[in-house]
Structures are given as structure tokens and as C-alpha cells.
Amino acid sequence: MKQNLITLLILAGFVATACAVETGAEFLRIDTTARAVSMGSAYTAMADGVNSICYNPAGLSSVKGMELGFTHTNWLLDSMHDFVGVAAPIKSLLGQAGWALGLGVTRLSNSGLETRNADRSAAGGFSAYDQSVSVGLAKAMGRYRGGLAVKYVESSIAGEKATSAAVDLGVTRGLGGRLPVSIGFSAQNLGMPMQYMDQKDPLPLTVAAGMLVTLIPGFNLALDVKRLVYDKQTALSIGSEYSFMPGFALRTGYMAANNTVNLKNRGLNLGAGVNFLSTQLDYSAAPFGELGNTQKVTLTKKF
């Protein structure tokens, strides 16, 4: 299984066309957990639990019991971005242990869009939304973790809809040695193009490689390199997480050439987390220049 996953991830890196093309379903690039945002989206090797389904589905295999996750973001231009997920281990599947299953729903919505006539007089309003539903399956195999997620993608503008289906693949491996080091690889949005009327746009295919290093107990350093295949762009991310006292963490991160939804993220991302009664509460803030800042809150409950 692990050889097949690695082969598929390598092949995904060669899907780029000779020239850059515009992609659809840009909302799939928006982070779905505050922890990842505050670390500059350097999350490929770090992703674990229910929130990993949108980053590296291999991380689902880390769940020890049922996990519920919820994230809310006051996104740009008065829109809302939300994620809801659930994950649980499967004690026996095909006669083997170490399997886990996850379900995640992501939605970007804006119900207050206004239309105007040629003379700029009001002509009513309309709503728009984008959403995806993902089902993920992961397996732990010694130091390896492999995962796959299948998702349905839908976009709607003023009643006109476009749909698609895609697959995400991921694998992580612990290297051991003096320093606890893990590496991860993922390929996201391998699927059919979105079509509005006669316009077809490919999904934002992304191939990523990441590394996670625990420098000292409680201090994590993460590094990611992402290739936006159809956009022919590469993003470098670095993030750090320092856990101090029981259940508290501070985080910071930076992404160079961040083109999330074609908007330039500028400056350092910051965040914090607190763990209490098997509940993780995370917060992040990210600047987007003249468009303002975005704030994200994630709540994860373990049972």
C-alpha cells in the first residue's frame, strides 16, 4: 500500500500543463483549522486527527477514539468559512488493525451579494456558496501512515451550479534518530474540472512535501513546500509551535508566495491553543493587506 501511495504522489507532480491555466473551486485552498493557519500552513507532516482530512488524510490514522472538529472563520468580503468533521478508529477492517475513518464538510458562503443596473441603481441581490464533502480512510503501518480521501465539490452563484469529484492522497513517515523527525507528502484535488455553463476550470491541484522536527520537548518546527500545479506557482511555508505549561501553546508561521484564493497574504501569522478536558481550542489571525485580517477559531473534542 505504501509503495502505491508514494508512486501516486510522485505521478501527481507531473500533471502540470505546458502553460498556467485558471483554476476553479479556489475555496479548496482556504485553511480549515486555526492551528495550520498560525503555522503558516506548514501542516503536511504535522496534520493529525479529524482536521487532517483537508491537509493530509494520512493523519486520520492518529485518532485513538472518536474526534469531532469545528472551525469558523470570518473570511474576506463579509463571507463565512466553516468546517465540520468527525473521525474515529476502525478496530477491525479487512481483518487488520490501525484503520481510521473520517468525514469532513467545508463551506464558504455569502448571502449578501448585490447586483446593480448599468446606471448603478440597485437591482436586487443573490447568494453564492462553495462546499465540499470529504470521506477519508487511513491506515497506520509501523512508522508509515497512509491515507486517501474522496470528495464531492459544489459551487453555486445565483442559482447556477457547478460540481466535481476529486481525490486527496497522503503519506507520512517517522524517521527516528536523535531528533524526532517526520516527513509527509500529499496530493490534493486530483479530479474533474468544474463547469459553469460553457466554462471549464480545473480544480486547484496541489502537491506538497513537509517536514516536522521536535527540536526540544514541547517545541515543534515545521516546513512545507507546495506546488500549485496548474497555476505554476510554488509556496514555501515555515511554522513553529511552543507548548508550555500543561495544555497551552503559542504558534507563529509565515508563507512566502501565498496565493490562497488569488490573494496575497502578507506578514506573520499568529495563534495560540489551549487544551482542557479532552477539548482543544485554537485561535489564529492572518493579515491580508488592504483587505484586512482574518480570524479563525477551531474547537476539537476527543471522546
pLDDT per residue over 182-225, tens digit each? 999 999 999 989 887 777 889 999 999 999 999 888 999 999 99
214-232 per-position pLDDT tens digit: 988 899 999 999 999 988 8
Domain membership of residue 120 (yes or no) is: no
Average pLDDT over residues 151-171: 90
% of the chain residues with pLDDT over 70: 81
pLDDT for the residue 299 = 97
% of the chain residues with pLDDT over 90: 57
231-251 per-position pLDDT tens digit: 888 989 999 999 988 889 999
Give how far the C-alpha of residue 130 lies from the chain's centroid of Cα atoms, to the nearest Å: 15
Domain membership of residue 156 (yes or no) is: yes
Is residue 259 predicted with pLDDT exceeding 90?
A: no
Domain membership of residue 122 (yes or no) is: no
pLDDT for the residue 11 = 39
Among residues 253, 223, 247, 213, the alpha carbon closest in space to that of 40 is found at 253
Domain membership of residue 293 (yes or no) is: yes
72-100 per-position pLDDT tens digit: 998 887 789 999 999 999 976 556 678 99
Domain membership of residue 239 (yes or no) is: yes
All three cell numbers of 244, joined, read 508550555
Task: Please give the Cα distance from 296 to 34 (Å, whole number).
Answer: 5
Question: Dihedral of CA 31/33/36/40: which sign?
Answer: positive
* Structural domain count of the chain: 1
Which residues span the domain enclosing 160? 2-12+26-111+129-302
Q: CA geometry: angle at 111 spanning 107 and 115, to 5°?
A: 130
Is residue 12 predicted with pLDDT exceeding 60?
A: no
More confident residue, 100 or 111: 100
Domain membership of residue 178 (yes or no) is: yes
Task: Please give the Cα distance from 83 to 176 (Å, whole number).
Answer: 33
pLDDT for the residue 67 = 97
At 288, is the pLDDT very low, low, confident or very high (cuts 50, 70, 90)? confident
- Say whether pTM exceeds 0.85: no
Domain membership of residue 73 (yes or no) is: yes
Task: Please give the Cα distance from 199 to 28 (Å, whole number).
Answer: 19
Domain membership of residue 84 (yes or no) is: yes
- DSSP characters over 76-134: GGG-EEEEEEEEEEES-BTTBS-EEEEEEEEEEEEEEEEEE-TTS-EEEEEEEEEEEEE
Range of weakest confidence among 22-31, 64-73, 92-101, 169-178: 92-101
34: enclosing H helix or E strand:
helix 34-38
CATH of the domain at 278: 2.40.160.60
For residues 169 and 147, the answer to whether their CB atoms sit within 8 Å is yes
Is residue 19 predicted with pLDDT exceeding 90?
A: no
Among residues 115, 111, 57, the alpha carbon closest in space to that of 87 is found at 57
